[in-house]
């Protein structure tokens, strides 16, 4: 199993606590699998509209949103060898980028699709921390 903790910034809890909900503009954090199977923790400011990058829309890049104030300790443990790391490994092992006669698009094997769905569930149910814990 891969240890993905190298993607985490030193001030992880500060990053996660800066994310907000509600109408745009708002800051969001997410785990990204790029089209070279690298895993990143990224954040961006959403200003509204449907500004989904083509790479994401076509499935070459996969984003998994993190809930605002996701607990940093939990995320670090998960990326170090927990269920999230295992699911990321399964997704990467079962994905491919193919030509569909119009675009290069991402595809997932049956196992990778199950892992993709499970990862969304796990991250949606992630524990959150109280901003006063900083």
Of 73, 65, 77, residue with least CA distance to 32: 65
Domain that holds residue 75: 5-125
CA distances to 42, 74, 121 from 78, in Å: 17, 6, 14
Q: Is the pLDDT of residue 132 over 80?
A: no
| 131 in any annotated domain | no
| 130 in any annotated domain | no
**Contact indicator for 126, 65 with CB cutoff of 8 Å:** no
Overall number of domains in the chain: 1
- Tens of pLDDT along 111-128? 999 999 999 999 999 998
- Beta strands (DSSP E) in the chain are 26-33, 39-46, 62-66, 95-99, 104-108
- Tens of pLDDT along 40-66? 888 777 776 667 788 888 999 999 988
| 132 in any annotated domain | no
**Contact indicator for 79, 3 with CB cutoff of 8 Å:** yes
Number of H helices, E strands in the chain: 5, 5
CA dist., res. 37 & res. 21, Å (int): 29
């Amino acid at each position: 199993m891969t240890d993905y903790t190298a993607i985490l910034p030193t001030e992880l809890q500060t990053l996660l606590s800066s994310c907000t909900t509600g109408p745009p503009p708002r800051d969001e954090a997410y785990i990204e699998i790029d089209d070279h199977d690298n895993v990143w923790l990224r954040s961006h400011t959403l200003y509204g509209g449907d500004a989904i990058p083509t790479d994401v829309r076509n499935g070459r890049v996969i984003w998994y949103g993190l809930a605002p104030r996701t607990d940093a300790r939990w995320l670090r443990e998960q990326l170090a060898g927990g269920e999230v790391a295992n699911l990321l490994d399964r997704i990467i092992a079962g994905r491919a980028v193919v030509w569909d006669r119009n675009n290069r698009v991402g595809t997932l094997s049956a196992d990778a699709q199950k892992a993709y769905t499970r990862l969304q569930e796990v991250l949606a149910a992630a524990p959150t921390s109280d901003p006063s814990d900083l």
